[in-house]
Structure 1
């Protein structure tokens, strides 16, 4: 495109050549300038009208502010409703935890009332009128306190159950010679050496020489020595004045002061001491008085059968 510009005063003319690219750039520049001018004018008029309270501008501003507040309130309401729904689910689960803790507390021998736990709280969140933020915060505080109380209760129950398990582990219920039959039982019998009636203070388990002898429960070895009557003998103290004795072994595998666990090897079957053949003489003593070991071993089998039946 050619443009001829003529100046009448100076009696001169000038030719300008505009290519297509230059025309497009000029059009874009002019459009941007007009848009900036329009935006600046609109902004100036809008702010001035809002400050001075022009009728039309003031109404528009109020509508915009009101709409913004409504959107903000709607967003907060949706968030509060979602939090309230989630809180209701948490409270429902807390009810399940409370019911479970009450059942387990009976097994652990713990009375929840002894821990001064607050009762009558929790429960599912019933939807009615919308909750306020203050009510939601108060409910969350109650739930946090209840959670702390249940945590304390479960901690105490865990400790009690652990104590019970430790006590069970310290009771001689493990077969000292698994898979081997019993010869002489606890009670009065004819002594094989004197031919007279005498009290047999333990159980005799038949086994070949070298068969491992296992600890009937965990404890501390208090005796590991050669005895004139019992031969190579091991005694394990399980606490609470409860001791088990393993006699006539061919070899001792532990020494005095050793800590042993249930099922650990203590010695090997032999025929040392006052014995007529290879076997294990097993005793259980409470406060130094011999008890029938069969009662302890039978109690273990009864518990296993009861557990199997419950499953």
Structure 2
């Protein structure tokens, strides 16, 4: 682009050569200047007119400002209504979550009073409680109160589910500590109860279950626990005692080889010994006992898998017994 500048007939003509980028820069400079000029005009004329109350200009300014405030108010109202709908949906979901939490807590064995919000707190109490939003035209204060209520309910629900998780984990651990897994695969040859003693022929109490098996057959822990004895006994031969907690102990007797020692922690199904015929035994087999607080129980009650909870199974298996017989 070329621009020619002359001052008269005899004056020399000046030619300005403007490139594309120079022209663009000039346009941007003019635009910036216009913006600055408009800002100065607005500040010096319109703002001053609004403050001093000029007859015409002040009315125009008031109309513009009023329209801006109306648009801003409408925008805020639409946002508040959208937030109110969202908060209402969250409230409904939390109420459903609360109902589900109460059902799940019942399955976990929690009592209703254990999961309810505390009603008795030290000191005075009072003030309004607004758990739900008003049906029409909620205010910012209404939404803030609803959000505070949602925050409180969410924290309580989180605590409830933490308690449920803890209780279920406790149940799982108790189930793992109950001897309900057969220590040796296969049928039993002698049940718990009175029988004819294989050595004397007299009636005597058999305090466990006998699992006949070939020598060297793996003997598995019926449940997880701690080995409290791994030794030779005159009557039991090579034997292992595993403590499962709450006074519950299992005994594995007549083994040919012990694979754990006292103090070891064993898991359910872990191989702890091998079948043998040591001690007071007439042939290779595992003699398996269950003791509750030192009193012999019928192991079949634990191995039956009758569907009862671990606590009920332990309680139902408790019964007294007499002297040892093998």
Question: Normalised by the size of structure 1, how large is the TM-score?
Answer: 0.81
- Determine which structure has the larger helix proportion and give its number: 1
Equivalent runs, 1:1-311 vs 2, <5 Å: 3=6, 5=8, 14-17=10-13, 19=15, 21=17, 32=30, 39=38, 42-43=41-42, 44-117=44-117, 128-177=135-184, 179-299=185-305
CA distance in 1, matches of 2:289, 2:163: 36
Give the Å deviation of 1:131. Answer: 0.7
**Greater Rg over alpha carbons, structure:** 1
1:50-99 deviations in Å (ceiling 9; x for gaps):
33322221111111211221222222222222221221221122112111
The 8 Å contact of residues 210 and 285 in structure 2, kept in 1 or not, is answered as yes
CA 1:38–1:211 in structure 2 vs 1: closer, same or farther (change >3 Å)?
A: closer
Name the SS of the counterpart of 2:305 in structure 1: helix
Shift of 1:160: 2.3
Question: Hey, what's the Cα distance between the residues in 2 that align with 1:279 and 1:199?
Answer: 18
Shift of the alpha carbon at 1:256?
1.3
Report Cα offsets for 1:249-276 as digits up to 9, x if no partner.
Answer: 1100111122222222211111111122
In structure 2, relative to structure 1, the CA distance for the partners of 1:126 and 1:143 (3 Å cut) is closer
Q: What's the Cα RMSD here?
A: 3.1
Tell me, yes or no, if the aligned pair for 1:94 and 1:122 is still in contact at 8 Å: no
- Structure 1: runs of 5+ lacking an equivalent: 6-12, 304-311
Once the two structures are superposed, residues 105-157 of structure 1 have per-residue CA deviations (whole angstroms, 9 ceiling, x without a partner) of 212332232455169x998x677312100011011111111222222222222
Unaligned runs of 5+ in 2: 120-128, 310-326
| 1:35 Cα deviation after fit | 5.5
Q: Structure 1 residues 126, 145: CA separation in 2 closer, same or farther (over 3 Å shift)?
A: closer
Partners in 2 of 1:257 and 1:85 — Cα distance? 61
Alpha-carbon offset, residue 237 of structure 1: 1.4
